[in-house]
């Protein structure tokens, strides 16, 4: 059974203070690792898909990386508007149905 | 382009009653998914439609849950009769291919 563990559960940063969120996973045959952003009262918003170890993707202040056991979401010089819950999910085997982690709640203080 | 729309946004019902949730996917998206998040837990997969056919319903908790997708367009998820443990946020998502799924804002269901 696929397992996804995200850490930390919550993270408070000052504006401009760079940091990383971790997603550790256990799957048999990774099809894809997904990062989503979720704002309060809204559904998850797709950010990235990573397919193989060594792959990296960037979007504005966010950069996602992938190894065979974990993924990191690096946030460079965050702004208050980056405050949200960040969800990691993996899909394996013959399906693209993702298994989600519980998320990391990020708060960026001005 | 309109996103995935879910109705209602909130629903409070009594135990034993019936509730029907609706999802309108993005036009042209053949894949439609239902998920649920129970408080304090992760988002869990319920089922997957490809057009009007159920591709995978392995996540449906029990036979009190019935999902349909009329003509490959909108979908409904009915819970009958509702139990306290059914409370949570129900998300719908749709995708054209299999990868980038777009989520609706969710329906918060509270069973009292």
pLDDT in tens, B17-60: 999 999 999 999 999 999 999 988 999 999 999 999 999 999 99
Average pLDDT (A77-96) is 91
Tens-place pLDDT, residues A40-83: 999 999 999 999 999 999 999 999 999 999 999 999 999 999 99
pLDDT of residue B98: 67
Residue to test with chain A: of B25, B37, B42, B50, most A Cβ within 10 A: B42
Give the pairing type, strands A99-100 and A84-92.
antiparallel
Closest CA of chain A from B2, distance in Å: 14
- Cα(B52)–Cα(B56) distance, integer angstroms: 12
- Cα(B107)–Cα(A83) distance, integer angstroms: 22
Tens-place pLDDT, residues B50-97: 999 999 999 999 999 999 998 889 999 999 999 999 999 999 999 987
Mean pLDDT of chain A: 94
Specify the DSSP class assigned to residue A52.
Answer: S
Which percentage of chain A shows pLDDT scores above 90?
A: 85
Residues of B in contact with A97 (CB under 8 A): 33, 45, 48, 56
- Cα(B73)–Cα(A65) distance, integer angstroms: 36
E strand map for chain B: 5-7, 10-13, 19-24, 31-37, 43-50, 53-56, 65-69, 75-79, 88-95, 102-103, 107-111
- Cα(B50)–Cα(B47) distance, integer angstroms: 10
Nearest to B67 by CA among B5, B24, B22: B22
Residues of B in contact with A45 (CB under 8 A): 103
CB contact under 8 A, A43 and B105: yes
Query: Which of these ranges, A80-89, A96-105, B5-14, B73-82, has the smallest mean pLDDT?
Result: A96-105
Mean pLDDT of chain B: 94
pLDDT of residue B1: 61
- Cα(A99)–Cα(A103) distance, integer angstroms: 12
User: A94 CB contacts (<8 Å, ≥6 apart)?
Assistant: none
pLDDT of residue B40: 85
């Amino acid at each position: 059974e696929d397992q996804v563990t995200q850490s930390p559960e919550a993270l408070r940063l000052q504006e401009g203070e760079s940091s990383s969120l971790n997603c550790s996973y256990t799957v048999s045959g990774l099809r894809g690792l997904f990062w989503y952003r979720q704002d309060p009262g809204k559904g998850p918003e797709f950010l990235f898909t990573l397919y193989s170890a060594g792959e990296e993707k960037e979007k504005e202040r966010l950069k996602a990386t992938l190894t065979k056991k974990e993924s990191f979401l690096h946030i460079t010089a965050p702004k208050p508007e980056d405050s949200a819950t960040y969800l990691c999910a993996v899909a394996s085997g013959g399906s693209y149905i993702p298994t989600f982690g519980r998320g990391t709640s990020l708060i960026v203080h001005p | 382009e309109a996103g995935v729309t879910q109705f209602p946004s909130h629903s409070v019902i009594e135990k034993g009653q019936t509730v029907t949730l609706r999802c309108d996917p993005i036009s042209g998206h053949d894949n439609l998914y239902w998920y649920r998040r129970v408080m304090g837990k992760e988002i869990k997969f319920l089922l997957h439609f490809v057009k009007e056919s159920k591709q995978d319903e392995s996540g449906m908790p029990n036979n009190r849950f019935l999902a349909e997708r009329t003509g490959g367009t909108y979908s409904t998820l009915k819970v009958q009769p509702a139990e306290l443990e059914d409370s949570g946020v129900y998300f719908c998502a749709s995708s054209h291919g299999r990868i980038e799924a777009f989520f609706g804002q969710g329906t918060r269901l509270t069973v009292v």
